């Protein structure tokens, strides 16, 4: 539908907010205490009913939905009715000083009573109760006091606990009384104490009989009333509190404030703003119906009181700003189209910085979208533009706190503003999610493109399989180096042997490669072959025995003791090989290379270089540079062993070599030696040259050990394994990574 705007083009008038006949989102205030006298319309019946209920009962509970107008009803409807009947209404919010107020609820109540009533007198009918937590404290206070108004007429305080749900939702408070210190307690437990005290007053059994006090007659009177105003969705908290403390009497008198009826809503619109609506009853009714429909829920059953007041207040500002004398149906449609609630909020925060807006939208509503109060000091620190509080565009207000408080708190004027903010936050979050989703989609797209490009240029796996021909037997072991070249670039260098005949490699281009294979062990011919990549992903390369290679083998020993030398380096032609744990070696070398030199060379630390022409000999004896180092090491060990109790063990190495071992333990260290029985001569002058010396560490808890060994020909090994009183067993590893097993069993103890 096209909206015809009929706003005047005349210059806008300044808006006198005090002339606005509606309160907007703010609660209607007590006309006795405010300069702005607004006509509170549409709740006449409810005001009368609640006032009569309070007059006739000591304790009344008023409840209703959030934003339905409980505070406005009390301030502007009920309080004037009570004053006409000699009651003094006193509104208190007990839950707004969370974590800061250091007064008890009882102190706050008494302080507010003595501030609001003009005069009070004290009657010593009972002894003063100084314990504020006692159930009879409030009963004692009211029994001892009489209260008077400004005309010196007796009056009864009506203590109204507005928004009582706050005492259940807020956390621990610390407070001190003038007479005694009280540890931190929760507002909920304070509320329980307060309700028990009210229940004590409400019990007629505690009434005092008429008597004479200080020469004057005394009559016990219930010159007080208590009212609890609470949100309907928090009523269960009050129910639980009463049930847990067995206070059924406080559940008897309740009043549920319902939504405005259409007739009451019409009164709330037309009576305050009678001069702004058309004289025609039909036109007025049409406008009122549209306003009521706008502020009602989807089913049209519940009329939102606070939104009705805001819409009327905003409508007033619109017609005054545009110099419109009366509201018409067409300009009302235009007004609604502009979303006045959100427009009101946006206008209120228009001068705020991004940081200030963020602060309001995060600190003043909680995770559930409900109002949350903050200290005025914090508000003053973070918000520099004070137009959003106590001004015509106020979306915040200071809470109505007692005079003795150390500082005020600030909150949103109404929950409907919290709903607007919550909705805006959700929209912002949705936009952020959309942006994030878009960015993620872009990242995925970029990743897909990159992956596509990678796949287009990815490296392909190729496999080279080496197959032995009939010239190589199953027992012929060989080992080789492979190098794959792309012109001058090296693609891969690796080592493989007879057990691994398939060699994989990756390459991402087409064309050809060169494969070079050099055999380090075995009488196998070296290979040089071109690999054409476009033909296949696998290649088969045959290997065969070299026609001009010759086998060379032998044993390297120490010259005098004839003990095998481990890890000696043997060089024949272009081939190099180390001796195994028995001193043996086998290698193959090109006969041409050998013939050109004709020599065998053997190197080992601690030995003289062995160099000789190759002959038929299979045993190669190396000569130690000197036995002096080993002899000194034996002498040092022998001196240590003399101080220890040695245990003799007999055992085998590699399951066949019989040996004898002597060990001594000192704390976490172990020392000793062993020898191979076959080569040991106990009568030899230099028998120590047959010893293999041991020293190391043990773990007595885990029963494990690690020992180093040294023999006369400077072979060094590591022994490790487990032990107990009867047995030492494990594995020995040479520095050339050759291993063998050993096991020794105790035979006798010696010194």
Q: Which fold has domain 43-258?
A: Rossmann fold (3.40.50)
Average pLDDT over the chain, rounded to an integer:
82
Give the residue among 656, 644, 705, 695 at the shortest CA–CA distance from 674.
Answer: 695
Q: What is the pLDDT of residues 478-493, one digit of tens each?
A: 888 898 888 767 888 8
Q: CA triplet 375, 377, 379: central angle to 5 degrees? A: 75
Query: Tokens for 539?
Result: 């290649």
Determine the pLDDT at residue 228: 95
Contact residues for 106 (Cβ-Cβ < 8 A; gap 6+): 132, 137, 138, 194, 197
| The listed CATH number (3.30.1490.100, 2.60.40.1120, 2.130.10.10, 2.30.30.90) that belongs to domain 460-543 | 2.60.40.1120
> Which of 338-342, 418-422, 486-490, 646-650 is predicted most confidently?
646-650
Confidence class for position 348, pLDDT limits 50, 70, 90 = confident
Residue ranges covered by each domain of the chain:
1-30+260-348, 43-258, 351-393+407-458, 460-543, 549-622, 628-750
Determine the pLDDT at residue 736: 60
Determine the pLDDT at residue 707: 94
- pLDDT above 70 as % of the chain: 88
Query: With left for phi above 0 and alpha for psi between -120 and 50, is residue 738 left, alpha or beta?
Result: beta
Instruction: Decide if pLDDT at 384 tops 60.
Output: yes
- Report, at the CATH architecture level, how domain 549-622 is classified: Sandwich (2.60)
Average the pLDDT over each of 159-168, 381-390, 393-402 and give the range with the smallest value: 393-402
Determine the pLDDT at residue 80: 93
Instruction: Decide if pLDDT at 404 tops 50.
Output: no
CATH 2.60.40 fits 628-750, yes or no: no
Residues 721, 651 contacting (CB under 8 angstroms): no
Query: Tokens for 750?
Result: 């010696």
DSSP state of 62: E
What is the average per-residue pLDDT within 279-302?
A: 81
Contact residues for 105 (Cβ-Cβ < 8 A; gap 6+): 94, 190, 191, 193, 194
Higher-pLDDT residue of 660, 11: 660
Instruction: Decide if pLDDT at 5 tops 50.
Output: no
Confidence class for position 522, pLDDT limits 50, 70, 90 = confident
Average the pLDDT over each of 62-76, 81-95, 534-548, 661-675 and give the range with the smallest value: 534-548
Determine the pLDDT at residue 593: 60
Alpha-carbon distance 607 to 583, whole Å? 14
What is the average per-residue pLDDT within 374-389?
A: 79
Q: What is the pLDDT of residues 161-208, one digit of tens each?
A: 998 988 876 544 444 444 444 444 455 588 899 999 999 988 888 888
Instruction: Decide if pLDDT at 455 tops 70.
Output: no
Give me the residues paired with residue 120 across strands. 147
Q: What is the pLDDT of residues 665-675, one digit of tens each?
A: 988 999 999 99
Q: What is the pLDDT of residues 674-697, one digit of tens each?
A: 998 888 888 888 888 889 999 999
φ, ψ of residue 45 to 5 degrees: the values are: -65, -45
Q: What is the pLDDT of residues 593-619, one digit of tens each?
A: 666 677 889 988 778 889 888 888 889
pTM of the model: 0.52
In what side-by-side order are the strands of the sheet with 396-398?
374-375, 409-412, 396-398
Determine the pLDDT at residue 159: 94
Identical fold for domains 460-543 and 549-622, yes or no, is yes
């Amino acid at each position: 539908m096209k909206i015809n705007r009929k706003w005047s083009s005349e210059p806008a008038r300044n808006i006198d907010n005090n002339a606005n006949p509606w309160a907007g989102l703010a609660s209607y205030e007590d006309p006795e205490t405010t300069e702005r006298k607004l006509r509170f319309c549409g709740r006449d019946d409810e005001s009368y009913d609640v006032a009569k209920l309070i007059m006739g009962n000591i304790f009344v509970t008023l409840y209703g939905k959030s934003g339905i107008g409980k505070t406005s009803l009390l301030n502007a409807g009920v309080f004037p009715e009570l004053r006409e009947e000699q009651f003094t209404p006193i509104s208190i919010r007990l839950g707004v000083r969370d974590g800061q107020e250091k007064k008890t609820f009882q102190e706050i109540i008494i302080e507010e009573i003595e501030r609001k009533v003009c005069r009070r007198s004290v009657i010593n009918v009972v002894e003063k109760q100084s314990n504020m937590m006692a159930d009879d404290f409030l009963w004692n206070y009211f029994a001892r006091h009489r209260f008077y108004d400004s005309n010196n007429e007796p009056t009864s305080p009506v203590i109204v606990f507005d928004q009582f749900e706050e005492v259940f939702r807020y956390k621990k408070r610390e407070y001190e009384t003038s007479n005694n210190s009280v540890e931190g307690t929760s507002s909920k437990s304070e509320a329980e104490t307060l309700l028990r005290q009210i229940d004590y007053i409400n019990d007629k059994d505690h009434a005092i009989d008429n008597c004479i006090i200080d020469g004057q007659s005394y009559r016990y009177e219930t010159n007080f009333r208590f009212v609890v105003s609470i949100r309907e969705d928090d009523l269960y908290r009050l129910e639980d509190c009463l049930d847990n403390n067995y206070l059924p009497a406080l559940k008897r008198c309740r009043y549920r404030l319902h939504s405005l009826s259409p007739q009451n809503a019409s009164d709330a619109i037309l009576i305050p703003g009678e001069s702004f609506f058309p004289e025609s009853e039909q036109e007025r009714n049409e406008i009122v119906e549209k306003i009521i429909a706008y502020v009602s829920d989807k089913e049209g059953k519940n009329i939102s009181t606070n939104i009705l007041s805001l819409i009327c207040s905003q409508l007033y500002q619109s017609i005054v700003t545009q110099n419109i004398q009366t509201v018409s149906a067409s300009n009302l449609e235009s007004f609604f189209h502009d979303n006045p609630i959100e427009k009101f909020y946006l206008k209120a925060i228009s001068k705020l910085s991004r940081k200030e807006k963020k602060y309001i939208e995060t600190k003043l509503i909680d995770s559930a979208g409900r109002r949350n109060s903050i200290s005025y000091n914090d508000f003053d620190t973070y918000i520099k533009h004070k137009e959003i509080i106590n001004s015509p565009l106020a979306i915040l207000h200071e809470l109505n706190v007692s005079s003795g408080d150390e500082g005020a708190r600030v909150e949103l004027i109404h929950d409907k503003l919290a709903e607007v903010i919550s909705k805006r936050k959700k929209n912002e979050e949705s936009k952020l999610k959309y942006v994030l989703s878009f960015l993620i989609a872009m990242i995925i797209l970029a990743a897909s493109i990159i992956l596509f490009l990678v796949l287009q240029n990815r490296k392909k796996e190729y496999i080279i399989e080496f197959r032995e021909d009939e010239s190589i037997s199953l027992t012929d072991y060989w080992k080789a180096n492979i190098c794959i070249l792309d012109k001058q670039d090296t693609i891969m260098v690796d080592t493989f042997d007879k057990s691994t005949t398939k060699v994989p490699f990756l390459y991402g281009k087409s064309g050809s490669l060169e494969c070079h294979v050099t055999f380090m062990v075995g009488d196998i011919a070296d290979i040089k072959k071109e690999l054409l990549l476009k033909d296949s992903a696998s290649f088969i390369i045959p290997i065969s025995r070299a026609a001009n290679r010759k086998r060379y083998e032998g044993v390297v020993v120490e010259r005098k003791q004839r003990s095998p030398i481990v890890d000696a380096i043997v060089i024949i032609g272009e081939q190099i090989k180390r001796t195994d744990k028995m001193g043996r070696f086998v290698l193959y070398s090109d006969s041409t290379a050998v013939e050109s030199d004709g020599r065998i060379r053997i190197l080992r630390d601690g030995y003289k270089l062995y160099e000789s022409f190759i002959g038929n000999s299979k045993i190669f004896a190396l000569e130690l540079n000197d036995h002096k180092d080993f002899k000194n090491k034996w002498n040092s060990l022998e001196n240590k062993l003399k101080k220890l109790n040695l245990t003799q063990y007999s055992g085998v190495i590699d399951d066949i070599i019989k040996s004898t071992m002597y060990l001594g333990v000192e704390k976490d260290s172990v020392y000793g030696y062993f020898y191979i029985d076959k080569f040991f001569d106990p009568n030899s002058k230099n028998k120590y040259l047959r010893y293999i010396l041991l020293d190391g560490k043990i773990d007595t808890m885990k029963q494990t050990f690690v020992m180093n060994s040294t023999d006369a020909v400077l072979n060094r090994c590591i022994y490790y394994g487990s032990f107990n009183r009867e047995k030492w067993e494990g594995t020995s590893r040479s520095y050339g990574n050759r291993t063998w097993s050993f096991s020794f069993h105790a035979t006798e103890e010696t010194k």
